[in-house]
Amino acid sequence: MALFDLPESRSNREADKAVVNKTTNKRSASIVMKGDGILAKISAINALVESKLGQYKNEYDIAWADNNVFDTVIKSCVKNGICAIDTETTGLNPISDEIVGMSIYTPDEKAIYIPIHHVSYITGVEVENQMQIDEIRKGLQLLVDNDVKIIMHNAKFDIRVIWNKIGIRLKCWFDTQLAAQCLNENEPHKLKILHPKYVQGLTEEQRKQQGKLSFDDLFEGVTFDKIPIKTGFVYGARDSIITFELYEFQLPYLTVDNPKCIEQELQSVCNVFWNIEMPFVDVIVDLEQNGISLDVEYAHKLSEKYHKILDQNMKDYESVLDNYKKEIEEYKKKNVNHKLSDPISVSSPKQLATLIYDILKVEPPDKDNPRGTGIEILEKIDNPLCKAILACRKTEKLLSTYIDKLPNELLKDGKIHCSFNQYGAKTGRLSSDNPNMQNIPSHNKDVRKMFVASPGNVLISCDFSQQEPRVMTAMCGDPEMRKAYIEGRDLYASIASIAYNVSYDDCLEKFPDGTTNPEGKDRRDSAKSIFLGVLYGRGINSIAEQLHTTKQKAQKIQSSIFKEFPAIKQFSEDSLDMVVEKGYVTTFWGRKRRLPDMQLPEYEFKWKPGYGDIDPLSFYTEVTELEVPDDIVEEYTYKLNNCNWKDKSNIKQQAEKEGIIIIDNGGKIADATRQVVNSRIQGSAADMSKIAGINISKNERLKELGFKLLVPIHDEYLGECPYENKDECVELFKQCMCDAAKETGLPIKVDVVVSYEWYGEAI
């Protein structure tokens, strides 16, 4: 049977007939006119799907309302105790977009596609004979009641779609996307990329030749509900079976006693996957589903306030710009083809680069980005113009990203529903978008106050105190640092006290009577900068800059701290040794962060095409692909290691004239080196925060009290509960957070604030 000969509903057939016959009926004529463009698209899509996926059409089936395919497969899922599920939708919002269909696969059955809300691409009328929601709900409920193990790819999306549109909350047993991220965080994790690579075993070149099979590539921007079922079913059904096949490939590597797992040293990764990432899927689902309320009236007031601030920022910028009027005019005369507006646009990176580096002749603070105009670079250029530009940019960002944008992002329930990326960073740290809650400036309380509790509720903010330093203490095992936390003392003040050989009280920011202690604050700040410098891979120049002191003095302070707390330096060195030896580092809970660039040679040498040694035995005296001789490698390596960075380029050019290409991996190695310790600490903190979220979601008493988690922000969780239950919820919330740190053997402190708006006045 050909792909296009599958049964189709009467409404679709009649619509096609209306177009083919081109009747004179006005309604039909209207349909033809509107349908001409999409007809061509659908025709092209049909051909493309046939060429890409037509070979699979007899391996899949369609669950129509008038056949028993769905019931048969559900019974097999229950019998097998396992299945893979995938959904097709009109968009990426599980609340506002519509489910179009779903697919299910279980062993010994064909993968099936279940059409739900396909419409005729001509009339817009829903296609007949599709499965009804009530029947699908009954079938899915059987999976829940029988504890069938469900496999998904990016489970949080499919769970929410099915929950919102069908009314059943499924639980995912194995998420192939999360598994892929745990097994290798450094590669793309789309299903259509992973399956050809690992299940089909195709090389990169073969995968390119096979062509992309993503939705956008196949359907050219046409939403899936308008794709004829006879065309779309093969794409939809295939997703569930390739998800299952990817799971079968991944499972041995995530089974702690499997030889493949042991051979790849993945036992600790199993712990992260099964005990942190998979349980956290339900936390993410709740977070996204709950959303957070927004005070729209307050947002409008903020908009007025910040637009006035922006107007003043622009005036200040133009006022500073006037000071350089002469230099600007001289530049324009010399460069008649300049692209500068009048006044020079604060929103144009190219115009600002011309202004800063060509007109004002500012020395670039970043040698790797000599014409950069980003925030970090402008902050290093200490002049009134850059400060004025930064002021404009910061206000513009607040307005465009939050103040003016968020009121338009509210869904029908009046809430903002973020999308949280469970493996948002390669360390395992969460990220979010629409909006990015992690990036809301903590120093700007105005923006955070836009987020409020639902009527009758209060917000509870609970964050770990010094989470990453505590993790560092647990991992490096320094006895003095552990003692400071066990005794409830400030870690930075304790480090400063020992390093400077003064009393603990002389290293606190305030005296016992509450007055400011400037010298104590300086000592504590220096210890904090050195300590966090190790955590975040900062060089001594960066630390000196942060301390507003010389490199020599910063180095002296660092040496003093390392001398008194050798475990800090030893942990850093051990971490570097681990990644050089194994290619990865691990978190406290066993997550791997792979940094393969640490195993690269500093320089790589290879011959240019046509150069190299001549094979004397070759009749045609062809050039052989031999390695560059050791003596040449040593000579150039010595030169490169004993010159300044400006001369490196000349040495490489000279080598190229001799037919030798030198690949300098120094930058890659330096970037990886900076990530080593931070990957272990940030990753461990991320693990701890996820464990805290799991604890909270599993606490039955919190559920009874009406508590809901709303937003995670790195080391902080924001939740809400009814006003009358706030006191008990606070204690349970704190306990769940603290219990997440139990395995470290260190007490952990959490700071709690109860209010009606985020960062608002405490209740």
- Of 383, 330, 376, 374, the residue nearest 340 (C-alpha): 330
- Do 490 and 524 contact (CB within 8 A), yes or no? yes
> Is the peptide bond preceding residue 435 cis, with omega within 30 degrees of 0?
yes
- Do 406 and 435 contact (CB within 8 A), yes or no? yes
- To the nearest 10°, report the CA torsion of 262, 266, 270, 271: 110
Positions of the chain with pLDDT lower than 70, given as ranges? 1-36, 211-218, 613-625
- Do 232 and 88 contact (CB within 8 A), yes or no? yes
Per-residue DSSP letter, 126:
B
Domains and CATH numbers, the chain: 3-254 (3.30.420.10), 294-409 (1.20.1060.10), 479-564 (no CATH), 601-664 (no CATH)
Environment class of 467 (CB within 10 Å of its CB; exposed 0-12, middle 13-18, buried 19+) = buried
Give the Cα separation of 629 and 753 in Å (integer): 66
- To the nearest 10°, report the CA torsion of 254, 256, 262, 268: 80
DSSP notation for 227-273:
S-HHHHHHHHHHHHHHHHHHHHHHGGGGSTTSHHHHHTT-HHHHHHI
Would you state the pLDDT for residue 44? 80
- Cα→Cα distances 91→94, 96, 286, 629, Å: 8, 9, 20, 58
Other C-beta atoms within 10 Å of 408: how many? 7
Would you state the pLDDT for residue 726? 98
| 82 φ/ψ angles, rounded to the nearest 5 degrees | -160, 150
In single-letter form, the type of residue at position 9 comes to S
Per-residue DSSP letter, 678:
H
- Of 50, 49, 146, 67, the residue nearest 106 (C-alpha): 146
Tokens of 449: 């106050």
In single-letter form, the type of residue at position 360 comes to L
| 104 φ/ψ angles, rounded to the nearest 5 degrees | -135, 140
CB-based contacts of 586, cutoff 8 Å, min separation 6: 268, 578, 592, 593, 680
- Do 230 and 236 contact (CB within 8 A), yes or no? no
Tokens of 612: 């190299």
- Do 271 and 689 contact (CB within 8 A), yes or no? no
Largest CA distance in the chain: 97
CB-based contacts of 532, cutoff 8 Å, min separation 6: 469, 538
- Sheet bearing 457-464, strands edge to edge: 708-713, 716-722, 457-464, 750-755
pTM for the full model? Answer: 0.89
Give the Cα separation of 254 and 262 in Å (integer): 9
Give the Cα separation of 80 and 72 in Å (integer): 12
Per-residue DSSP letter, 643:
S
> Where on the phi/psi map is residue 12: left (φ > 0), alpha (ψ -120 to 50), or beta?
alpha
DSSP notation for 379-440:
HHS-SHHHHHHHHHHHHHHIIIIIITTGGGG--TTSEE--EEETT-STTS--EEESS-GGGS
Per-residue DSSP letter, 2:
-
Tokens of 607: 């011959």
| 95 φ/ψ angles, rounded to the nearest 5 degrees | -95, -50
Per-residue DSSP letter, 58:
G
Give the Cα separation of 320 and 338 in Å (integer): 21
- H and E: helices and strands count for the chain: 31, 19
- Of 238, 221, 220, the residue nearest 102 (C-alpha): 238
E-state strands within 75-123: 82-89, 99-105, 111-115
- Cα→Cα distances 623→85, 613, 616, 626, 658, Å: 56, 6, 10, 9, 15
Give the Cα separation of 511 and 514 in Å (integer): 5
Would you state the pLDDT for residue 625? 53
